[in-house]
């Protein structure tokens, strides 16, 4: 019996029209373009400004483009996974809203929360569902409206984040040596003090106090998170490369989470990869959390060819982290 594997057969993406530049940010907080570019490498980010629109809107736009590009029959999609840290509501799931708007009749849908590592976790889960033989077509969407949890009075964090979404179609194949080849995902559980939102959950529900003290925004100890991210993403990539016989000569692409240009460069250096083989769009989009990796695939799609060896890697709150070996399918 042939082994079933999971492949990506299409990518759709969406970023909002509004561009928040460093120059505009410098009029909001004490910062400037040189400071931001030197430390994180972000020139601008996209912001969803329309009132009443949330993460599900961007996810739906990306999914619609994916359906249009691939020509997939929506009724053939059996599961929809949305990975996000900025759900439209506490409940119902953002995935259920997206499913309803898309009119998917034969799928179940759920959200997966793993912060900036969310796409790797969700794609790994979708691949496992495909490999089980019980599913043939699954849509995975990484989407975050990070502007909704960003404090634009905090000069340390407000330059970092942007909004966006991207969707991939994951399908079954019996073709050998293609698709999701290997993954290494971990959560170390030490990250709470260094990266979190202080209020809004069951430990500290919303109140006048929490709103007045601006506790509903992303809190980050930047130096600690940077150190953990560099170490874990680099180590995870090295592990995946070593156990799959990959090196600078046969890796075609590295697809890193777009959090900080210095982190991306450190990962590339560890793998001895030239930067032209590393997918980078942080300068224009900033950190869109769970959307960064699929957005990179969306932007670079025209440069990819069947059989390309790719290492995907991410790091996020929790701390969550991991790397994945993917052979491109088209």
Q: Is residue 257 annotated as a catalytic residue, yes or no?
A: yes
DSSP label of 4: P
Tell me phi and psi for residue 206, to 5 degrees: -60, 140
Structure tokens at 176: 């050998």
CB atoms within 10 A of CB 10: 22
Structure tokens at 286: 């900033």
* Catalytic residue, candidates 257, 260, 309, 321: 257
Out of 22, 232, 260, 287, pick the active-site residue: 287
Contact 285, 258 (CB under 8 A): yes
Residue recorded with tokens 């079933």: 4
Residues in the chain, overall count:
330
Q: At what angle do helices 222-243 and 261-270 cross, to 10 degrees?
A: 30
137 to 7, 9, 103: CA distances (angstroms): 10, 10, 16
Task: Identify the active-site residue in 116, 232, 309, 321.
Answer: 116
Active site residue 287: yes
Active site residues: 116, 257, 287
């Amino acid at each position: 019996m042939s082994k079933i594997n999971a492949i990506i057969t299409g990518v759709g993406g969406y970023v909002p029209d509004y561009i928040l530049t460093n120059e505009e940010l410098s009029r909001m907080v004490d910062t400037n373009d040189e400071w931001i570019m030197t430390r994180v490498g972000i020139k601008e980010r996209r912001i969803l400004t329309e009132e009443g629109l949330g993460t599900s809107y961007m996810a739906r736009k990306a999914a619609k483009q994916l359906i249009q590009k691939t020509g997939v029959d929506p009724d053939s999609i059996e599961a929809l996974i949305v990975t996000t840290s900025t759900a439209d509501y506490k409940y119902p799931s953002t995935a259920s809203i997206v499913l309803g708007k898309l009119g998917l009749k034969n799928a179940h849908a759920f959200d997966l929360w793993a912060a900036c590592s969310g796409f790797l976790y969700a794609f790994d889960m979708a691949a496992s569902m495909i490999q089980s033989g019980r599913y043939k077509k699954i849509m995975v969407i990484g989407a975050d409206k990070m502007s909704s949890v960003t404090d634009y009075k905090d000069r340390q964090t407000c330059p970092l984040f942007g909004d966006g979404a991207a969707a991939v179609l994951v399908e079954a194949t019996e073709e050998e040596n293609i698709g999701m080849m290997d993954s290494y995902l971990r959560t170390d559980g030490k990250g709470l003090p260094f990266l979190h939102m202080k209020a809004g959950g069951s430990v500290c529900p919303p109140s006048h106090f929490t709103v007045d003290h601006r506790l509903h925004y992303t809190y980050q100890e930047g130096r600690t998170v940077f150190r953990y991210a560099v170490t874990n993403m680099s180590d995870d990539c090295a592990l995946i490369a070593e156990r799959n016989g990959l090196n600078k000569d046969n890796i075609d692409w590295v697809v890193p989470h777009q959090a900080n240009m210095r982190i991306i460069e450190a990962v590339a250096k560890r793998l001895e990869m030239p930067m032209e083989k590393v997918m980078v769009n942080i300068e224009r989009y900033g950190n869109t959390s769970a959307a960064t990796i699929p957005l990179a695939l969306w932007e670079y799609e025209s440069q990819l060819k069947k059989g390309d060896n790719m290492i995907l890697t991410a790091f996020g709150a929790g701390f969550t982290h991991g790397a994945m070996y993917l052979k491109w399918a088209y």
